[in-house]
Amino acid sequence: MEHIRTTKVEQVKLLDRFSTSNKSLTGTLYLTATHLLFIDSHQKETWILHHHIASVEKLALTTSGCPLVIQCKNFRTVHFIVPRERDCHDIYNSLLQLSKQAKYEDLYAFSYNPKQNDSERLQGWQLIDLAEEYKRMGVPNSHWQLSDANRDYKAAICRCSQPLSGFSARCLEDEHLLQAISKANPVNRYMYVMDTRPKLNAMANRAAGKGYENEDNYSNIRFQFVGIENIHVMRSSLQKLLEVNGTKGLSVNDFYSGLESSGWLRHIKAVMDAAIFLAKAITVENASVLVHCSDGWDRTSQVCSLGSLLLDSYYRTIKGFMVLIEKDWISFGHKFSERCGHLDGDPKEVSPVFTQFLECVWHLTEQFPQAFEFSEAFLLQIHEHIHSCQFGNFLGNCQKEREELKLKEKTYSLWPFLLEDQKKYLNPLYSSKSHRFTVLEPNTISFNFKFWRNMYHQFDRTLHPRQSVFNIIMNMNEQNEQLEKDIKDLESKIKQRKNKQTDGILTKELLHSVHPESPTLKTSLCFKEQTLLPVNDALRTIEGSSLADNRYSEYAEEFSKSEPAVVSLEYGVARMTC
């Protein structure tokens, strides 16, 4: 590539971001067409995709070399010290070029090749089908043409952009459409119109010939402002938050005052409150709701998608969440390329709107640990790829642009890759039964909003808990499944040979034959005992195929009680061993 002048620099130091004593690792820096790669002396590799780079900064020369600070969109920050200034300058310039492409065609997605053939790729793109989704929701029906989202045929969430009303203008057709939406709800004769902007902003817009609906002109509407700030406020809020968190030797008080002055959690709470208002209007009052902001693709998308998530448990599954993103974000024209700064464009159009949505979802998963099929890792992975430009899904700013780019022919869809790996993203505490039909009612009292460390410090391993309960439960579940399978295998073997000798002796023989080869028995003593005993037990109690599922779900059930994972497993083990 023409931008790369130096491909390899040795003796580069990678500084520990938080260390006050300038702890560092020494290694070699490589520059490829798509990635920046650092391999340290322990052969640990750090890969940084060029598209993830938000900013590159060259600091003043020091005695040990030339410092290069790279901030990434996935909140990784790396601080290199390159021994020679010339190398540093070359890398700096290359990265500046590589991280800000001018044309869509230069993005990674157009060169990324995961070794699939065309039909596989096409299948990938067809994985999420919105027409199918509307069918699932039950539209079109006698009240609705295929135009927007609906929920249990009664109340509906609708979305649009602000009316161009100015101070006095009105539009009869618009009034009629709203009337029609309102009538489409057979239960309730009024509807809500939610303007997600602060009232002041909406009033200011009137001066520019835009504005908001006048309650007098529209019959049967109830108007509501919910005060979510605009993209510019959000951008600088995140900027402040990251500045605070990047401080070395941060004190607790500075952290909290920084968190407060950034306003980040306040904005998150505002989005959440709006979604809750929406969900309540629909479930409690059975009223349809029309949501809009200025353009109808940022705040509106946040509120509609979160509202749907609260109302419909389907969206809380892995597949459903993909559908939700396709529906409320991609197809309704959230300007991903501009908001994520995929191309070298107007920095004022960049804003963490989608990141905020993911954070709201994370807060919900924290409050309802069993309601979501996916875990935090899924959210982080999606966040990674809205910026990576590795897949075609998030390229472009609207559906029209995407069709013009021929994304479906030239790039791959992210969703099939996530689905293939879905094991990594499963939430072990998920209980599909107990939450299937319930509407989530989160509590938005302030102390329920916490700083999302695993997002904003996802690469700062030293700040994370050292052991993960999720992984352990996941492994245990896997082991259990494997053990159940072993039991079944043994059982069938016993049946095959049942005309020989007595069962007891056979069991023992079989056990000996299975033990060494079973891969799951390596961990702890209790698991070894487990395999021993249920085998004998199996002859009496295990009939048919349902047991594996039962025990699996028993665990999940137990976790649902107020102290997750506490006594239950102990009982599970005890029961199995005695």
Partner 1 sequence: MEFAELIKTPRVDNVVLHRPFYPAVEGTLCLTGHHLILSSRQDNTEELWLLHSNIDAIDKRFVGSLGTIIIKCKDFRIIQLDIPGMEECLNIASSIEALSTLDSITLMYPFFYRPMFEVIEDGWHSFLPEQEFELYSSATSEWRLSYVNKEFAVCPSYPPIVTVPKSIDDEALRKVATFRHGGRFPVLSYYHKKNGMVIMRSGQPLTGTNGRRCKEDEKLINATLRAGKRGYIIDTRSLNVAQQARAKGGGFEQEAHYPQWRRIHKSIERYHILQESLIKLVEACNDQTHNMDRWLSKLEASNWLTHIKEILTAACLAAQCIDREGASILIHGTEGTDSTLQVTSLAQIILEPRSRTIRGFEALIEREWLQAGHPFQQRCAQSAYCNTKQKWEAPVFLLFLDCVWQILRQFPCSFEFNENFLIMLFEHAYASQFGTFLGNNESERCKLKLQQKTMSLWSWVNQPGELSKFTNPLFEANNLVIWPSVAPQSLPLWEGI
Give the one residue of 524, 536, 550, 553 binding partner 1; rule: CB under 8 A: 524
For the bound state, the minimum distance from the C-beta of residue 366 to partner 1, rounded and expressed in Å, comes to 11
Kindly tell me the burial class for residue 209, based on how many C-beta atoms sit within 10 Å of its own C-beta (0-12, 13-18, 19 or more).
Answer: exposed
295 annotated to bind ligand: yes
Q: Which residue's entry shows tokens 């709470």?
A: 269
- 41 binding partner 1? (CB under 8 A): no
Distance in angstroms (rounded) separating the CA atoms of residues 335 and 533: 59
Contacts of 277 (CB under 8 A, 6+ apart): 194, 224, 226
If the CB atoms of residues 189 and 450 are measured against partner 1, the closer one turns out to be 450
Residues with Cβ within 8 Å of 393's Cβ and at least 6 positions away in sequence, in order, are: 330, 385, 413, 414, 415
Nearer to partner 1, 467 or 546 (CB): 467
- Whether 492 has a binding-site annotation, put simply, is no
Per CB under 8 A, contacts with partner 1 among 10-39 are: 18
The answer to whether 197 is a known ligand-binding residue is: no
Residues 206-245: x where in contact with partner 1 by CB under 8 A, - otherwise, as a string:
---------------------------------------x
Among 150, 388, 479, 568, binds partner 1 (CB under 8 A): 568
Which of 139, 223, 143, 140 lies closest to 180, judged by CA?
143
What does the DSSP 8-state code read for residue 347?
A: G
Q: Is 475 an interacting residue with respect to partner 1 (CB under 8 A)?
A: no
CB nearer to partner 1: give 465 or 516: 465
Q: Decide: 224 and 193 in contact? Cβ < 8 Å.
A: yes
How many chain residues touch partner 1 (CB under 8 A)?
46
Is 100 among the residues that bind partner 1 (CB under 8 A)?
no
Closer residue to partner 1, CB minimum distance, 19 or 145? 19
Annotated binding residue at 64?
Answer: no
Sign of CA pseudo-dihedral 396, 386, 233, 103: negative
Q: How far apart, in whole angstroms, are the C-alpha atoms of residue 449 and residue 44?
A: 35
527 sits near partner 1 (criterion: CB under 8 A):
no
Q: Give which of 149, 213, 210 is closest to 181, Cα–Cα.
A: 149
Catalytic residue among 66, 72, 158, 293, which? 293
62: contact with partner 1 by CB under 8 A: no
Using CA atoms, how far apart are residues 412 and 408, in angstroms rounded to an integer?
A: 7
Would you count residue 445 as binding partner 1 (CB under 8 A)?
yes
Alpha carbon separation from 573 to 179, 229, 275 (Å, rounded): 61, 51, 42
With binding defined as CB under 8 A, does residue 253 bind partner 1?
Answer: yes
Q: What is the dihedral of CA 157, 159, 162, 164, to 10 degrees?
A: -110
Question: Any known ligand binding at 486?
Answer: no
- Whichever of 82 and 265 has its CB closer to partner 1, that residue is 265
The residue range among 21-29, 97-105, 125-133, 442-450 that interacts with partner 1, by the rule CB under 8 A, is: 442-450
Q: What is the rounded distance in angstroms from the CA atom of residue 409 to the CA atom of residue 121?
A: 8
Q: Is residue 505 annotated as involved in ligand binding?
A: no
Beta bridge partners of 153: none
The region of 94-102, 229-237, 253-261, 371-379 touching partner 1 under the rule CB under 8 A is 253-261
Is residue 340 annotated as a catalytic residue, yes or no? no
Stretch that binds partner 1, among 7-15, 170-178, 300-308, 449-457 (CB under 8 A): 449-457
Separation of alpha carbons 142 and 145, rounded Å: 8
Q: Is 578 in the site for partner 1 (CB under 8 A)?
A: no
Residue whose CB is less far from partner 1, 207 or 463: 463
Quick one: which of 358, 338, 363, 361 has its CA closest to 350?
A: 338
Q: Could you tell me the end-to-end alpha-carbon distance of the chain, in angstroms, rounded to an integer? A: 67
Nearer to partner 1, 136 or 450 (CB): 450
Q: Which residues are catalytic?
A: 293
Residues at the site binding partner 1, with contacts judged by CB under 8 A: 18, 245, 250-257, 259-260, 263, 265-266, 269, 273, 444-447, 449-451, 453, 456-457, 462-469, 472-473, 524, 563, 565-570, 573
- Which segments are annotated as binding site? 230-231, 293-299
